[in-house]
Structure 1
Amino acid sequence: MTPAKLSEVVLAAARAVFAARGLDSSLLPASISVERPRNPEHGDYASTIAMQVAKRAGVPPRELAQALVEELGQAPGVRSVEIAGPGFLNIRLDAAAAGELARLVVESGESYGKSDKLAKQKINLEFVSANPTGPVHIGGVRWAAVGDALARLLRAAGAEVGTEYYFNDAGSQIDRFANSLLAAAKGDPAPDDGYGGAYIAEIAQTVIQEHQDILKLNEAEAREEFRRYGVDLMFAEIKKSLTDFGVHFDTYFNEKDLHDRGALGHALDRLTAQGHTYERDGAVWLRTTDFGDDKDRVLRKSDGDWTYFAADCAYYLDKRERGFDRVVIMLGADHHGYIGRMKAMSACFGDDPAVNLEILIGQLVNLVRDGAPVRMSKRAGTVVTLEDLVDAIGVDASRYALARYSSDSPIDIDVELWTSAKSENPVYYVQYVAARTASIARNAAESGHARGTAADFRPELLHLDRELELLKTLAEFPAAVESAAELREPHRVARYLEEVATAYHRFYDNKIDGKIQRILPAGDEEFTETHRARLWLNEATRTVISNGLSLLGVSAPERM
């Protein structure tokens, strides 16, 4: 029985008690939750429903709790219920009800953990969006891992999600990039405000090889050609590195398109119609201070040029007009000041910033080797790139390490730790369970010990403490996925998987009177129905580990 199912059973019991006592059932919540007690001796699950509603119902909490004990005692799958303290309900399930969870997980397969919790939400999720002036640096890699995991989580919770990379191919940074390519092609040093690193020279040489007469053009024409071809080459490289990292976007959106199709003018018209623009000193301003910004923002400068903020406004409006209810943007640690103006801009369009716009800020990442931060890339020169991280620890470890911590916390990724084949390495610790469960399933098949059909499974045989503890841990997976999606915190799934791994290792090594309680018989031992039941639990564990790792974009190996 899952916590969600038990919650329904408890709520049904509460409704029955209210009906029997002539109490107003509308005083009960629409849904409740049950929690696992910290001390297993207090039961399998606990509920505070009696204390939540007793005062409103005009009944002492313990009196209401006693009525619930009597009602729940008749519920299928509930072995016992006890009252603790002022009205806590400590609930124990019978072994068959607990063990049924293994059948549910195995039969659900890849769908176990999915729900319709966010079914009515249409979310645009923008992340990475690094300028095409260089390789993706380690800060952007964090958003690649976290953003992709979050997209998977939101979809698993039922939301309709469009992932998006905003391709900034207009503006002064692109000008500096083009100037840097032209300088490298001529053999000149990089401009003072330009970009260095071996990748600039590589791209410049590629452009020359493909367009051999480019340096015969006048400087302005040559610069424009280097801009056009160089940006295409750099962005193709960015897309390939992200694809190799397992990150795929539904949409790559070009900023230049906003300018070319008049989207900035359209946004200005909408904001003017809402009454939030004004002119001063020949420029057009947006009155964002009406909605909490620290100052008003210029949309169009006195010389007629658009500002970056005007493009931000147009891009936000474009997303909303494409039908997305919520726009989620992931930004780096240096963008805190961006939040106020964007929230105010959303309000200027007539939206509710608390509903329609969400901005997530990620903190810095350091790659550490031999106790010291790695400061520079051999290729990029000034930053550590996605390729540097993958070369150091691999794709799986990189994705897991970046998704394992709350995004608002800085992290150090230690090369020695994340490449070690030890339990201290979190991704190894979890993937080892994936491999071990697969190995046991193979061994069972090779020795003729089939897990059998659902009709062959006897859940009541999973009654040992460590079997029950593993079952309870597996039962929490759907709730872990839902909370990680709702709170935008993929690290909750990683930490949960480590709890599953711990529970599985304890189950695997379980001893009673010095004898290991094996999943498969050893030597000439007879294959029993208990072994068969444990094979179902083994397969349920692999299912949860595989599903959870998949949500993080990490593989669940069958061998290690």
Structure 2
Amino acid sequence: MTPVELSRTVLCAVRRAVDAGELSVVVPARAVVTLPGPGGSGDYATNIALQLARQAGRPPLRVAEILRPHISGAPGVADVAITGPGFLNIRLGGGASAALVEDVLRQGPTYGHSDVLAGQVVELRVPYDTRAEVVADTLVRIVATQGGRAEVRHAEPVNLRPVPAPEDPAPLGPDAARWALLHPAPHDRPRITADHLVQRESNPLFRVRYAHARTRALRRNAAALGYVGDPGDVRHEGELLGLLGAFAEYPHALRVAATQRTPDRLARHLVDTADAFLAHQHTVLPLGDEKPSAAHRARLALAEAAGTVLAGGLSLLGISAPDYL
């Protein structure tokens, strides 16, 4: 079950509770599903009980208790635990990780897209400033992933004014220049230095683009060894959970970037995804005389999904994703 499917499952649980007379609320348009926070458990968590508590006239913990059996009885859900003031922590069945990877690979560049902003026109009024124009250009693409349409104008009053760059970033080249302007938060002054060009671990842009190139190299190497990726359950391999979590969080990162006009949120998520992938890339290919196994095929599918997310995110930022680096 993917995060999008799980969100629908949570909403269906709310609807069943309403139909059964257990809750008196308006079923919301969407339910936010994220990774469990500190003190949480399971594969995903939702704050839907806290969201509905005031409307229901009941404490969040009681709302969570009402929703718990409706969610735990849904196909693909193995267990539901309540933590904190009323967070519902959901543990999925054994095929959850495979389903998530399959979803990423099937949707390709459109993974993470939604209709949250469907029918909405987002007006971006920017000053005549290089950084503001690059941020607005990027937001046009990001807003479109959520079903909205962004219109950019040079007009007052300005509603998008990130801190300007201290100097012209053009000498860095198109990719590094865009990264230098987009990666910092809007209230932070960007650094226009050659650090964005160095090919070492200290450079986040290099790590993201290198990680993408490595996913492509692993696929080529696996093909030479005679096997291809096949999504499988890898949740028992602890070092891979961070990468699965990055996939699950990517749709949320896109929504936040679109609705809060913060492309830096997407850039930072790509860094997290790249770091999670690079930490386990050495496990993808067989070593020595080892034969490719189901585990290797599952890890390769995971690597290919990482490449899909990284390529899609870089494209939205207007930055190239090289197959060789």
Change (3 A) 1:493 1:61: closer
Higher strand share: 1
Decide whether the 8 Å contact of 1:127 with 1:144 is kept in 2: yes
Decide whether the 8 Å contact of 1:151 with 1:161 is kept in 2: yes
CA displacement 1:322-374 (0-9 Å, x = unmatched): xxxxxx548xxxxxxx53xxxxxxxxxxxxxxxxxx6211323225xxxxxxx
Decide whether the 8 Å contact of 1:484 with 1:493 is kept in 2: yes
Count how many residue pairs are aligned between Structure 1 and Structure 2: 325
Rounded to whole Å, the distance in 2 between the matches of 1:471 and 1:498 is 14
Q: CA RMSD in A?
A: 2.5
Rounded to whole Å, the distance in 1 between the matches of 2:4 and 2:94 is 18
Alignment gaps of 5+ in structure 1: 130-139, 164-327, 331-337, 340-357, 368-384, 452-456, 510-517
Rounded to whole Å, the distance in 2 between the matches of 1:418 and 1:53 is 45
For 1:362, the equivalent position in structure 2 comes to 162
Decide whether the 8 Å contact of 2:139 with 2:258 is kept in 1: yes
Rounded to whole Å, the distance in 1 between the matches of 2:135 and 2:58 is 47
Decide whether the 8 Å contact of 1:47 with 1:89 is kept in 2: yes
Query: Any idea what SS the aligned residue of 2:30 has?
Result: coil
Q: Please list, as runs of the form range in 1=range in 2, the aligned pairs for 1:291-330 lying within 5 A after superposition.
A: 328-329=153-154
- Asked whether 1:390 is paired with 2:170, we answer yes
CA displacement 1:443-486 (0-9 Å, x = unmatched): 111222123xxxxx353245322323311211222221122112
Compare CA radii of gyration and give the structure with the larger one.
1
Alignment gaps of 5+ in structure 2: none
CA apart distance, 1:12: 1.3
- Asked whether 1:30 is paired with 2:19, we answer no
CA displacement 1:409-439 (0-9 Å, x = unmatched): 3223222x21211111111011111111111
For 1:67, the equivalent position in structure 2 comes to 66
For 1:14, the equivalent position in structure 2 comes to 14
Indicate which of 166, 173, 190 corresponds to 1:411: 190
Residue type of the partner of 1:5?
E
- Asked whether 1:525 is paired with 2:290, we answer yes
Rounded to whole Å, the distance in 2 between the matches of 1:123 and 1:90 is 34
- Asked whether 1:447 is paired with 2:225, we answer yes
Rounded to whole Å, the distance in 2 between the matches of 1:470 and 1:40 is 20
CA apart distance, 1:533: 1.3
For 1:475, the equivalent position in structure 2 comes to 248
Rounded to whole Å, the distance in 2 between the matches of 1:464 and 1:95 is 13
Query: Any idea what SS the aligned residue of 2:91 has?
Result: strand
CA apart distance, 1:128: 7.0
Decide whether the 8 Å contact of 1:365 with 1:412 is kept in 2: yes
Residue type of the partner of 1:414?
T
Query: Any idea what SS the aligned residue of 1:365 has?
Result: coil
Indicate which of 149, 153, 159 corresponds to 1:160: 149
Q: Which stretch shifts more, 463-472 or 57-66?
A: 57-66
CA displacement 1:535-557 (0-9 Å, x = unmatched): 11111100000000001111111
Rounded to whole Å, the distance in 2 between the matches of 1:52 and 1:158 is 24
Change (3 A) 1:86 1:557: same
For 1:402, the equivalent position in structure 2 comes to 181
For 1:186, the equivalent position in structure 2 comes to none
Rounded to whole Å, the distance in 2 between the matches of 1:507 and 1:525 is 18
Rounded to whole Å, the distance in 2 between the matches of 1:3 and 1:408 is 31
For 2:318, the equivalent position in structure 1 comes to 553
Change (3 A) 1:57 1:419: closer
Decide whether the 8 Å contact of 2:98 with 2:233 is kept in 1: yes
Indicate which of 216, 221, 238 corresponds to 1:438: 216
Change (3 A) 1:410 1:537: same
For 2:266, the equivalent position in structure 1 comes to 493
Rounded to whole Å, the distance in 1 between the matches of 2:257 and 2:15 is 30
CA displacement 1:72-121 (0-9 Å, x = unmatched): 22212222211223322222223312321111111111221222322313
TM-score, L = length of structure 2: 0.89
CA apart distance, 1:8: 1.8
Q: Please list, as runs of the form range in 1=range in 2, the aligned pairs for 1:130-169 lying within 5 A after superposition.
A: 140-161=129-150
TM-score, L = length of structure 1: 0.54
CA displacement 1:119-173 (0-9 Å, x = unmatched): 31345656675xxxxxxxxxx332343222112112222233455xxxxxxxxxx
Rounded to whole Å, the distance in 1 between the matches of 2:49 and 2:318 is 41
Residue type of the partner of 1:118?
L
Q: Please list, as runs of the form range in 1=range in 2, the aligned pairs for 1:64-213 lying within 5 A after superposition.
A: 64-123=63-122, 129=128, 140-161=129-150
Decide whether the 8 Å contact of 2:247 with 2:309 is kept in 1: yes
Rounded to whole Å, the distance in 2 between the matches of 1:61 and 1:122 is 34
Decide whether the 8 Å contact of 1:95 with 1:461 is kept in 2: no
Change (3 A) 1:126 1:23: closer
Residue type of the partner of 2:71?
L
Rounded to whole Å, the distance in 1 between the matches of 2:120 and 2:29 is 21
CA apart distance, 1:54: 4.1
CA displacement 1:13-64 (0-9 Å, x = unmatched): 12223333454343x4332212323337623222233344345435554344
CA displacement 1:185-219 (0-9 Å, x = unmatched): xxxxxxxxxxxxxxxxxxxxxxxxxxxxxxxxxxx
Change (3 A) 1:53 1:113: closer
Change (3 A) 1:508 1:7: same
Decide whether the 8 Å contact of 2:126 with 2:160 is kept in 1: no
Change (3 A) 1:62 1:150: closer
For 2:305, the equivalent position in structure 1 comes to 540
Rounded to whole Å, the distance in 1 between the matches of 2:56 and 2:259 is 31
Rounded to whole Å, the distance in 1 between the matches of 2:136 and 2:22 is 51
Residue type of the partner of 1:551?
L
Residue type of the partner of 1:159?
G
Decide whether the 8 Å contact of 2:215 with 2:307 is kept in 1: yes
CA displacement 1:242-278 (0-9 Å, x = unmatched): xxxxxxxxxxxxxxxxxxxxxxxxxxxxxxxxxxxxx
Query: Any idea what SS the aligned residue of 1:360 has?
Result: coil
Residue type of the partner of 1:98?
S
